[in-house]
């Protein structure tokens, strides 16, 4: 919904730099929306940790002889599954914005989506394991997650923005996740339809690294926060 409303509204006044006569804004915005859905589903899947840790199912798991890295891995894979299913639903809409898939492109897109979902779920876990209340979690959401999405190139490309903003976008790990997803969507057709972004290999590399770091971070947090 969000994507249709904003995308259609802005497409008249906004044309991404470097794609003057290319696809319209709604097509530019499409990968960003998929990433947004992945981001929200992944992170919201982890919110239950906050309450469950104090009262509920998770307590019985915490007193069982199971190492924390396995608990976190299971939680991360659970969140990833949920997010991926949501993402796949949206992926079905891709042809409506003129994206033509080949088999490789589909497989790559799904792969990148899974990677992103896994990294983001772990980011959520990293936060959730520290939180004492769900209110605190929501505060972090607004403070951190919305900005990293806005500044990932999902909403506007980094070309033509002020220097400091361009740098912030360059340092944002989600920029590379989004770029990797964009690349994989258009893998079979022309290389990059929307101006300059991070390279395919670099994007994939950084996204992978982000996954590993987020997972290790989440595991360490879980270990520190529990006995």
Partner 1 sequence: MLRSENGRQEVSLVVDTEVLHSITTEGFRQPTVSDSRIEVENLSHAYQKRQALDNVSFDVSCGEIFGLLGPNGSGKTTLFRILSTLMPVTSGTVRILGHDLATEVKAIRNLLGVVFQHPGLDAKLTVVENLRHHGHLYGLAGKTLHHRISELLERFGVADRAKERVEILSGGLKRRVEIAKALLHSPRVLLLDEPTSGLDVTARRQLSDYLGTIAQTEDILVLLTTHLLDDAEACDRVGILDAGRLVALGNPDALKAQVAGDVILIESTDNETLGTAIAERFRVSTVFTDNQLRIECKRGHEFVRDVVATFPDEIQTIRFGKPTLEDVFIKLTGNPFVEKKDTEN
Binding-site member from 12, 20, 21, 65 for partner 1 (CB under 8 A): 65
Q: Are 178 and 154 in contact (CB under 8 A)?
A: yes
Binding-site member from 20, 21, 55, 163 for partner 1 (CB under 8 A): 55
| Distance in angstroms (rounded) separating the CA atoms of residues 46 and 42 | 7
CA separation (Å) from 94 to 19, 26, 99?
19, 11, 6
Shortest Å distance, C-beta 59 to partner 1: 5
Binding-site member from 2, 8, 57, 196 for partner 1 (CB under 8 A): 57
201 binds partner 1 (CB under 8 A): no
Binding-site member from 13, 60, 142, 190 for partner 1 (CB under 8 A): 60
CA separation (Å) from 69 to 122, 135, 224?
12, 26, 12
224 binds partner 1 (CB under 8 A): no
- Residue placing its CB nearer to partner 1 in the complex, 67 or 102: 67
61 binds partner 1 (CB under 8 A): yes
Shortest Å distance, C-beta 54 to partner 1: 8
Binding-site member from 2, 4, 9, 59 for partner 1 (CB under 8 A): 59
Binding-site member from 6, 62, 73, 150 for partner 1 (CB under 8 A): 62
Degrees to nearest 5, angle at CA 176 with 172 and 182: 135
Q: Are 195 and 52 in contact (CB under 8 A)?
A: no
Instruction: Give me the residues that bind partner 1 (CB under 8 A), please.
Output: 55-57, 59-66, 226-227
């Amino acid at each position: 919904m969000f994507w249709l409303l904003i995308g259609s509204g802005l497409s008249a006044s906004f044309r991404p730099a470097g794609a003057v006569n290319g696809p319209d804004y709604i097509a530019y915005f499409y990968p960003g929306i998929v990433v947004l859905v992945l981001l929200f589903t992944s992170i919201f899947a982890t919110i239950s940790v906050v309450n469950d840790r104090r009262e509920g199912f998770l307590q019985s798991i915490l007193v069982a002889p199971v190492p924390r890295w396995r608990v976190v891995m299971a939680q991360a894979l659970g969140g990833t599954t949920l997010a991926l299913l949501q993402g796949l639903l949206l992926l079905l809409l891709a042809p409506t914005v003129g994206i033509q898939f080949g088999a490789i492109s589909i497989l790559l897109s799904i792969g990148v989506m899974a990677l992103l979902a896994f990294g983001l779920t772990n980011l959520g876990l990293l936060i959730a394991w520290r939180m004492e209340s769900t209110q605190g979690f929501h505060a972090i959401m607004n403070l951190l997650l919305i900005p990293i999405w806005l500044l990932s190139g999902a909403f506007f490309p980094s070309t033509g923005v002020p220097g400091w903003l361009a740098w912030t976008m360059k340092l944002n790990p989600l920029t590379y996740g989004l770029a990797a997803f964009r690349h994989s969507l258009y893998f079979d057709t022309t290389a990059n339809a929307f101006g300059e972004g991070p390279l395919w290999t670099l994007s994939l590399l950084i996204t992978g690294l982000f996954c590993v770091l987020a997972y290790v971070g989440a595991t360490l947090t879980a270990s520190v926060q529990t006995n």
